[in-house]
Amino acid sequence: MKFAPILACLAVAGCTLIDQRTFAPSPEEEPIPVARTTPARLDARTPLVTVDYTTPSPNYKDLLRLAVRTAESRSGAVQYDVVAVTPELQSSAPPQALDIMRGIIAEGVPAARVHLGMRADSALSAAQVRVYVR
């Protein structure tokens, strides 16, 4: 038992006290900035159809009809996301997106499988409507 006090001293010598530094990081640490070489994409998915409105009345109906028929032939449960992408955020969906949504429904797709969305992208010069499938 002569060694008990010596062992106790050695055991305590390796301990550290618990205080605020144990649970909180030091305030000197600075966050590391992340450099971006390309702008972040709003949606990582590839659109089935993109209708660009740089021209006032683009002819998209035949392309939309073909794309919907092809998607429906692969799966009868396809969900369509019709997303209006505008240079500035608007309070309501542009009429072009509603026309494309109606065009998909006219091809026999139930309205419950067609979803309307809207985003802003300051990199665009004119509005676009993108149709995604999921």
How many residues can be counted in the chain? 134
**Cβ(53)–Cβ(124) below 8 Å:** no
- The CA distance from 37 to 57, in Å, is 35
* Phi and psi at residue 62, to the nearest 5°: -65, -40
Choice between 76 and 15, residue whose per-residue pLDDT is larger: 76
Check pLDDT > 60 for residue 99.
yes
Is 18 a residue whose pLDDT tops 70?
no
For 25-86, where are the alpha helices, taking DSSP H only?
A: 61-74
DSSP type of residue 111: G
| Token pair in block for residue 30 | 């600075």
Q: pLDDT tens digits, residue range 28-85?
A: 656 666 555 545 556 788 999 999 998 888 999 999 999 999 999 999 899 999 999 9
Count Cα atoms within 13 angstroms, Cβ side, for 99: 13
Q: Answer for the pair 119, 42: CB distance below 8 angstroms, yes or no.
A: yes
> What percent of the chain stands above pLDDT 90?
50
pLDDT of residue 76: 86
What are the extents of the domains in the chain?
49-133
Closest CA to 127 of 61, 58, 68: 58
- Binned at pLDDT 50, 70 and 90, residue 116 comes out as very high
pLDDT of residue 64: 96
User: Rounded mean pLDDT of 80-108?
Assistant: 91
**What's the confidence (pLDDT) of residue 133?**
95
CATH number of the structural domain 49-133: 3.30.1330.60
